[in-house]
């Protein structure tokens, strides 16, 4: 009976290590995504794209930031926040 308990304790320790590793990998991916998303929105609002402007017209074309895109932005931020909490 004690051997079975010791076996269960031994196997649960290795599972905890794997879960911790997976937790940190997931957290790192979410942080990386968040950094890229914030950088994109900063560049968008400052009108400072990474790509060079169009040589012919001198203006970089960009889309309109409509209400639907704003709602999508808020929902992505909310979803990312919930993933951090989880």
User: What is the average per-residue pLDDT within 34-44?
Assistant: 91
Q: How many domains in the chain?
A: 1
Question: What is the overall mean pLDDT for the chain?
Answer: 78
Report yes or no: 73 and 66 within 8 Å, Cβ to Cβ. Answer: no
User: What is the average per-residue pLDDT within 25-48?
Assistant: 89
pLDDT of residue 9: 55
Strands (E), the chain: none
Domain that holds residue 80: 2-85
Percent of the chain with pLDDT over 70: 66
Q: Which residue has the tokens 């990474």?
A: 50
pTM of the model: 0.64
Report yes or no: 30 and 80 within 8 Å, Cβ to Cβ. Answer: yes
Q: Give the count of alpha carbons within 13 A of 64, CB side only.
A: 3
Q: Which residue has the tokens 């979803």?
A: 79
């Amino acid at each position: 009976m004690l051997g079975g308990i010791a076996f269960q304790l031994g196997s649960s320790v290795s599972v905890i290590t794997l879960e911790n590793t997976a937790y940190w990998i997931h957290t790192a991916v979410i942080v990386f995504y968040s950094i890229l998303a914030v950088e994109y929105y900063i560049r968008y609002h400052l009108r400072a794209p990474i790509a060079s402007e169009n040589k012919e017209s001198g203006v970089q074309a960009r889309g309109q930031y409509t209400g639907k895109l704003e709602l999508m932005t808020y929902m992505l931020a909310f979803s990312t926040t919930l993933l951090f909490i989880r």
